[in-house]
């Protein structure tokens, strides 16, 4: 039997940074489902599919092959046999991922892969619909959020550290638009599962959130 932890929440709440560290603490496998949507988005962009071409998105979703592999414990995303992990972290791909994620065939394509991983291994999986849809029986569910201002500020600092010029107001506008798109879509929208614990990280450090989730797991699941 395997243990499953689900972490959902809006863009920029720190899900992946935190889930990665909790996975290390507990010796679990970390599964970043957003990376799978990003890989499909990259495939669509490479094939010049536009946001409003829903039928084309379905067509490409039905033929795409997305897999995960791990190198030194780091998740790699394989798109039709190619490791695309280095190409999926751009704003362009993130925006297209949120659009592609509204499409039924895209979601069907990824659901089995996500569920099968969780069946075999102890996983901590992050995304938008993990607690509500992908792993409704997860042993621990966390809804991790932070105010849009805090999330924008974190993203702004990250980009500045990379030497990328950016405007904080624009980042916050994009974050709010992405939240709206992910929360208002018809299929498996982002929302807190009824049995998920709400963690607002606005005034917490990464370490505090990681410790909190690790303790919650030990208290509730073992
Ligand atoms: O977490 P992220 O920024 O890498 O996710 C990119 C997009 O993928 C996100 O805006 C919505 C979509 N997504 C989803 O619909 N369901 C998931 N479980 C994970 C991501």
pTM of the model: 0.95
pLDDT at 73: 86
Neighbours of 162 (CB within 10 A): 8
Indicate whether 222 pLDDT > 80: no
What's the pLDDT tens digit per position in 41-79? 999 999 999 999 999 999 999 999 999 999 988 999 999
Gap from CA of 218 to ligand 1 centroid (Å) = 28
What does the angle CA 106 – CA 108 – CA 111 come to, to the nearest 5 degrees?
Answer: 110
pLDDT digits (tens, 9 = 90+) for 142-186: 999 999 999 999 999 988 998 988 899 999 999 999 999 999 999
Q: Quote the ligand 1 centre to 180 CA distance (angstroms).
A: 13
Q: Is the CB of 8 under 6 A from ligand 1?
A: no
Q: Note whether 111 and 16 are within 8 A (CB).
A: no
If DSSP codes are grouped into helix, strand and coil, which group holds residue 5?
Answer: strand
Q: Is the CB of 43 under 6 A from ligand 1?
A: no
Per-residue model confidence (pLDDT) at position 165: 87
Q: Is the CB of 34 under 6 A from ligand 1?
A: yes
């Amino acid at each position: 039997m395997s243990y499953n932890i689900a972490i959902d929440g809006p863009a920029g709440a720190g899900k992946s940074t935190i889930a990665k560290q909790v996975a290390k603490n507990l010796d679990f496998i970390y599964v970043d489902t957003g990376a799978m949507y990003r890989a499909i988005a990259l495939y669509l962009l490479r094939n010049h599919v536009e946001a409003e071409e829903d039928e084309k998105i379905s067509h490409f979703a039905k033929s795409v092959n997305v897999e995960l592999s791990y190198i030194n414990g780091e998740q790699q995303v394989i798109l039709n046999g190619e490791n695309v992990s280095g190409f999926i972290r751009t704003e362009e791909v993130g925006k297209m991922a949120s659009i592609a994620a509204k499409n039924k065939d895209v979601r069907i394509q990824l659901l089995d892969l996500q569920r099968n991983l969780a069946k075999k291994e102890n996983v901590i999986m992050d995304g938008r619909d993990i607690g509500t849809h992908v792993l409704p029986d997860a042993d621990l569910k966390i809804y991790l959020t932070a105010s849009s201002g805090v999330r924008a500020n974190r993203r702004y600092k990250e980009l500045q550290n990379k030497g990328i010029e950016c405007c904080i107001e624009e980042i916050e506008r994009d974050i709010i638009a992405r939240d709206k798109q992910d929360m208002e879509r018809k299929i498996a929208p982002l929302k807190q599962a009824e049995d998920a614990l709400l963690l607002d990280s606005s005034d917490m450090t990464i370490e505090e959130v990681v410790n909190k989730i690790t303790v919650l797991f030990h208290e509730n699941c073992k």
